[in-house]
Amino acid sequence: MIVKISDDKEIYKRAAEILNNNGIIAIPTDTIYGFAVDGTRYEPIKRLKDLKKREEKPFTYFIPRRLLQDYAVITKKKIIDCFVPGPITVILKKNPDGKLGSDEEKIGVRIPDYDFVINFLDYYNKPIAVTSANISGAPELLNPFEIAEKFSEIELIIDAGTLSGKPSTVIDLTTPIPVVKRKGAIPILEIEKIYGRRIKLDPSLKFNLLFVCSGNSCRSPMAQGIIKTMLDTRYVEVKSAGTAAMDGLPASENARAIVKEFGGDISDHRTRYLTEELIDEADLILVMEFKHYETVLEISPGSAIKTFLLKEYKRRTKYNEVSDPVGRDLSTYRDTALEMFPSLRFVAEDIKRRLIQ
């Protein structure tokens, strides 16, 4: 049954009845739809595992905020206080006194910043176990009619229209230094700003670095090629783009020659235009001039937290731009590379401190 989302207590009552009878419902969140069951009993969690066709991967628990300490051991409180509720899943040690329908020592806890979910959790007054609305490994289903068509077992679907948000960021707070287990809606650098120090990245993930200049034929590919000689590309993905680039052209001859002097190789480089997708997937964006910074923010206003001029990253300087060698001789390109080199070395060391190798 599909029911249009509202604050009608009858919807809460119906959803609670289904959950209390080991049923499965589909609910909207601040990111995507999720399948939900009662989180305090084994039987509904087993049903959800069978529905998802997965055995090992644990589910996330949505828990009323006032009950968090009853089910989880709170740590790294600054991160929780800032981002919960919100698009983040925090992994915490399970409180042994809290009754849940699974035996894990650690649990993923999430409270979406979504009024319906927050209000329903307060009404239900106990945890629900939640997972994305899909078969494990398949694309998420983004609207209620797709869910109803593919999953007849779902007894109630709360219709909030089509949802297409990024998945929540998943971060393990049980380790001495927090570890990001899945990238998502909250950028790594935003978490670091609140936490006050660097966090770590799970070895299964890559740190994504993006350099931006104008034509993507001189400065940004040189920066890309040089910094790749300083980093293990098994753990770091380095890309570059231009705010006024034509797609598909090689780097300039002088840029290729200078990168070779530094031990790198950009012979396979092809120019590309800066897109929202490139910005979105980047964990850190380093630009050459302030006009490039402005363009990044015009395309993606929320990216300010992770966008910096290369020579200003973690430095107390302003408007410190990298000179453009385009159309000049080889020595000018060399000067530009030498101008960037100390900053590139600093950035490389900064990134390495986030990696678990």
User: Which pLDDT score is estimated for 316?
Assistant: 74
State the span(s) of the chain assigned CATH 3.90.870.10.
Answer: 2-182
Q: What's the predicted TM-score (pTM) here? A: 0.92
User: Which pLDDT score is estimated for 262?
Assistant: 98
Q: What is the mean pLDDT of residues 106-119?
A: 96
Residue 293 has a CB neighbour count (10 Å cut-off) of: 23
Q: What is the mean pLDDT of residues 180-201?
A: 97
CA dihedral 116, 111, 183, 100 (to 10 degrees): -120
Instruction: Write the secondary structure of 236-269 as one string of H (helix), E (strand) and C (coil).
Output: EEEEEEECCCCCCCCCCHHHHHHHHHCCCCCCCC
The per-residue pLDDT for range 314-354, each reduced to its tens digit, is: 987 777 999 999 999 999 999 999 999 999 999 999 999 99
Q: Which residues pair with 27 in a beta bridge?
A: 34
The per-residue pLDDT for range 257-295, each reduced to its tens digit, is: 999 999 999 999 999 999 999 999 999 999 999 999 999
The per-residue pLDDT for range 24-54, each reduced to its tens digit, is: 999 999 999 999 999 999 999 999 999 988 7
Q: Which residues pair with 131 in a beta bridge?
A: 35
Question: Is the pLDDT score of 299 beyond 70?
Answer: yes
User: Which pLDDT score is estimated for 292?
Assistant: 98
Catalytic residues: 213, 219, 324
Q: What is the mean pLDDT of residues 240-247?
A: 97
Pick the CATH number of 2-182 from 3.40.50.720, 3.90.870.10, 3.10.180.10, 2.60.34.10: 3.90.870.10
Cα separation values, 295 from 301, 307, 322, Å: 9, 11, 16
Pick the CATH number of 206-352 from 3.30.43.10, 1.10.10.10, 3.40.50.2300, 3.40.50.300: 3.40.50.2300
Question: Is the pLDDT score of 164 beyond 80?
Answer: no
The per-residue pLDDT for range 52-71, each reduced to its tens digit, is: 887 677 899 999 999 999 99
216 and 245 Cβ atoms separated by less than 8 Å: yes
For residue 56, give every residue at least 6 positions away whose Cβ sits within 8 Å of its Cβ, in sequence order, or none. Answer: none
User: Which pLDDT score is estimated for 130?
Assistant: 96
Question: Is the pLDDT score of 125 beyond 90?
Answer: yes
88 and 186 Cβ atoms separated by less than 8 Å: yes
The Cα 357–Cα 348 span in angstroms is 15
State the span(s) of the chain assigned CATH 3.40.50.2300.
Answer: 206-352
Average pLDDT value for the chain = 95
Query: DSSP per residue over 130-191, as a string?
Result: EEESSSTTSPPP-SHHHHHHH-TT-SEEEE-----PPPPEEEE-SSSS-EEEE--SS-HHHH
108 and 60 Cβ atoms separated by less than 8 Å: yes
In the chain, the percentage of residues whose pLDDT exceeds 90 is 87
Q: Which has the closest alpha carbon to 75: 169, 173, 198? A: 173
101 and 42 Cβ atoms separated by less than 8 Å: yes
Question: Is the pLDDT score of 212 beyond 70?
Answer: yes
- Band (pLDDT 50/70/90 cuts) for residue 140 is confident
Question: Is the pLDDT score of 136 beyond 90?
Answer: no
User: Which pLDDT score is estimated for 55?
Assistant: 65
Q: Which two tokens stand for residue 348?
A: 């490389």
Query: DSSP per residue over 212-245, as a string?
Result: EESSSSSHHHHHHHHHHTTS-TTTEEEEEEETTP
What's at 281, amino acid-wise?
E
